[in-house]
Amino acid sequence: MLQTVSESRTVGETQRVAYRFMLRARLLDDKFASLYRAGKIHGGVFLGRGQEALSAAIGVHLNKTDVFAPLIRDAAGRLAFGEPIIDAVRTYLGSSLGPMRGRDGNVHRGRPQEGYLPMISHLGAMISVVNGVLFARRMKGITGIVGVACLGEGATSTGSFHEALNQAAVEKLPLVLVVANNQFAYSTPTTSQFACSDLANKAIGYGVESHSVDGTDFSACMETVGAAIARARAGHGPQLVVATLLRLCGHGEHDDASYIAPEQKNSKLGRDCLKVAEDFLLKKEFADAAQIAVWRSEAIREIDEAVAQAQREPAPDPYEEKWSALSSEHLNELREES
Amino acid sequence: MSITYLEAIREAQAHALRDDPRVFIYGQDVGAFGGAFKATKNLQKEFPGRVLDSPISEDAMIGLAVGTAIEGMRPIIEMQFADFSTVAFNQIVNQASTLFWRTNVPCPITVRLPFGGTSGSGPFHSQCLEAIYAHYPGLVVLTPATVEDAYSMLLSAVAIDDPVIFCEHKFLYYHLKAEKLPSEALPIGKARIAREGRDLTIVTYSAMVHEALAAADELATEGWQVEVVDLRSIKPLDTDTVVASVARTGRLLCVGEAWPWGGVTAEVIARVTAEGYGLLDAPPQRLNAKDTPVPYHPNLWAAHRPTARSVAAAARKLIRY
Ligand SMILES: Cc1ncc(C[n+]2csc(CCOP(=O)(O)OP(=O)(O)O)c2C)c(N)n1
Ligand SMILES: [Mg+2]
């Protein structure tokens, strides 16, 4: 298990930790992509390529007692929040031993009682659930915690986003809403998504503080996300973070993203945050190339081991399955089975 | 002393708040104002910090409730009118109802829906949405028809570890009175024989129980003994009690105030036909509201939904089949 920020001591340790989560996330995503192409994954595969800096910056600034509702491009943040690689692999491969037991798959995974909320597909719907966890904890007298909800720029057009951000503002909850503006919602460009000049301006209307950041810039993400989380933790109410970047993959692995113009890919927006982070670490002498190579091979080994393990594990068995959606067993209508 | 259906709902909430520190109430105008119907009257004063006004954000209200449930709370969410719960539909049917199944973490939330027609309420303050919620796995749907059930079933709803859609009928709020609150109740999922008879079974729930009972009175003067089954709970549905009643009478009329298509009445008939085909002496029938939005004008409204008169007419026809 990698260290978290609070345990870090030496200069550059936080950056090193964050970079390692980015690297692990990238390699894990690459593995899922190749498993998908090999026909080993049922259903879709959704990658966070190009968004690792933003996502890892969230994860490393959260404590175990915080709340995290990641979305589809947050492999890095999930790992940094403490998700073991095996949880991700088991969910993608449908192992009955995974946290979702084959009932849900791919990015729809979490452990709610550990503050790690499993997204439902409906965009915007997780924000108010984070509000609820924060609301309950406040009722119990727990302070000093924050909850982060992630979303894409497309999800800012949902009614749920509006309702939940307004609700958090009214209740002054320590919510940090991190919007990854990766320029596309599936194939839809931002011009068809919103008409304001800067998404961060939306915060004004809700009476919420906002932060903008270049999502390709690793150290800027670390600083801005860290500051927003610290503001919320210190009791300054909800924070909106808007990161500008480019999705460096298809919407899912089924999508070749041919609608993204080459000029955009070749612009500064299209640079790879993992490379930016690596250059940053080398330049600051927080790590050297040999060290990074070791981290990489360690991560590859861990991922390969997790995949090998999950592939040996039992798939869910329909005859063992309970086929009941209720926790109250006495209220099940068992007669359906006859 | 007498207590109304609405007061019973208030009392049940007070009881739940008193007994269980995990319970709180969240909804529009529920705080100092006491709710649009006064179902939370004085509760904020009595339970400071636990009866809280929400913004007009039904989606976020239920999302928040689910988050608090994850943290072990047992929220009661008041929808101002059942009709507006459609704004929260996604959070109810996709978030709340799937949580336990997906994660093994229970979701003990109670969503109170003041529902059903009252004169002059029109298309958007009269709807009956029990069937659409019952359609979704992972939800419990309750429809109390009496003051006693309103009280005891709301207490049960709060105690149940799953999301409960509590359909409380606005028409019964002030009309219905009881002498005192009950100290015991039938379990959730058990239907009740509201009136015994041998010639015909009427299966119904909520406000229509009272229309059915009035129709049964009318038919009694003509010499027919009508049995009335009050389902109490739509989901789970007590098929055994219904089939046993049909075994006694041989005739089934299902009555619902909701729209007919894919509704509770259709479900009951499907079950009785599948499980008790040989018990039927006549084709099972149903009577529902007409398949239009609920009209505003009392003349139209009275003709839109089943009434004692139309129930009696349908029953007569079925007895003579
Ligand atoms: C309410 C809702 N509508 C539609 C979809 C289908 N959908 C899934 S992802 C997506 C695009 C999301 O774009 P964005 O919010 O920008 O996130 P990104 O994929 O770019 O990270 C759409 C339309 C959905 N999941 N939920
Ligand atoms: Mg996007």
Is A125 in contact with B91 (Cβ distance < 8 A)?
yes
Give how far Cα B163 sits from Cα of A45, B88, B152, B158, Å: 31, 13, 17, 9
Which residue puts its alpha carbon closest to atom 13 of ligand 1? Answer: A185
Number of Cβ within a 10 Å radius of residue B163: 33
Domain ranges across chain A: 13-315
Q: At what angle do helices A127-139 and A159-171 cross, to 10 degrees?
A: 20
A48 CB less than 6 Å from ligand 1?
no
For A170, B39, B67, B73, B203, the CA distances from A206, given in Å and listed in that order, are: 9, 31, 21, 27, 50
Size of interface A-B (CB pairs under 8 A): 142
* Residue A335, pLDDT score: 57
CA of A192 to the centre of ligand 2 (A): 12
CATH of the domain spanning B192-319? 3.40.50.920
- Closest among A77, A74, A26, A32 to A56, alpha carbons compared: A77
pLDDT at A7 over 70: no
Chain B nearest-CA distance from A44, in A, is 18
Query: Is residue B166 a contact partner of residue B113, using CB atoms and an 8 Å limit?
Result: yes
Q: Span A156-162, mean pLDDT?
A: 98
Give the nearest partner residue to B94 out of A122, A166, A327, using CB atoms: A122
Residue A248: other Cβ atoms inside 10 A: 21
Straight-line distance from the first to the last Cα atom of chain B, in angstroms, rounded to the nearest whole number = 46
How confident is the model over B118-142, as a mean pLDDT?
97
The rounded mean pLDDT for chain A is 95
Percent of chain A with pLDDT over 70: 96
Q: Using the predicted structure, report yes or no on whether residue A337 has a pLDDT greater than 60.
A: no
Domain ranges of chain B: 3-178, 192-319
Mean pLDDT, range B164-170, rounded to an integer: 98
Q: Classify domain B3-178 at the CATH class level.
A: alpha beta
> Hey, whose CA ends up nearest to atom 18 of ligand 1?
A152
Task: Check residue A333 and give its pLDDT.
Answer: 83
> What average pLDDT does the segment B260-281 reach?
97
> Would the CB atoms of A166 and B66 count as touching at under 8 Å?
no
- Measured between CA atoms, the residue of chain B closest to residue A91 is B102
Length of chain A: 338
pLDDT bracket for residue B1 (50, 70, 90): confident
Please give the C-alpha separations between residue A207 and each of A148, A173, A236, B70, B246, in angstroms, as whole numbers: 18, 12, 11, 28, 61
Residue A4 is predicted with a pLDDT of: 53
Task: Identify whether the C-beta of residue B51 lies closer than 8 Å to the C-beta of residue B100.
Answer: no
Q: How far apart are CA A114 and CA A91, in angstroms?
A: 17
Q: What is the pLDDT of residues A87-140, one digit of tens each?
A: 999 999 999 999 999 999 999 999 999 999 999 999 999 999 999 999 999 999
Query: Residue B93: what pLDDT?
Result: 98
Whether residue A121 has its Cβ less than 6 Å from ligand 1: yes
Residue A181: per-residue pLDDT:
98
- Beta partners for residue A175, in sequence order: A147
CB B10, CB B39: distance < 8 Å: yes
Judge contact between A193 and A154, C-beta under 8 A. Answer: yes
Active site members of B: 125
Query: Could you read off the pLDDT of A182-221 as tens digits, one per residue?
Result: 999 999 999 999 999 999 999 999 999 999 999 999 999 9
What are the tens digits of pLDDT across the range B58-81? 999 999 999 999 999 999 999 999
Cross-chain residue pair B67–A131, CB shorter than 8 Å: yes
Tell me the pLDDT tens digit for each residue of A284-322.
Answer: 999 999 999 999 999 999 999 999 999 999 999 999 999
Centroid of ligand 2 to alpha carbon of B114 (angstroms): 39
pLDDT greater than 90 at residue A228: yes
Q: What counts of helices (H) and strands (E) characterise chain B?
A: 13, 14
Closest partner CB to B162 (pick from A103, A108, A328):
A328
**Burial (0-12, 13-18, 19+ Cβ within 10 Å), A282:** middle
- pLDDT band per the 50, 70, 90 thresholds, residue A2: low
DSSP per position, B169-229: ETTHHHH-EESS--S--PPTT--EEEE--SSEEEEE-THHHHHHHHHHHHHHTTT--EEEE
Determine whether the interchain pair A128/B69 forms a contact, defined as Cβ–Cβ distance below 8 Å: no
CATH fold of A13-315? Rossmann fold (3.40.50)
ipTM of this model?
0.96
**What are the angstrom distances between the C-alpha of B252 and each of A333, B227, B245?**
22, 10, 9
Nearest CA in chain A to B49: A139
Fold agreement (B3-178, B192-319): yes
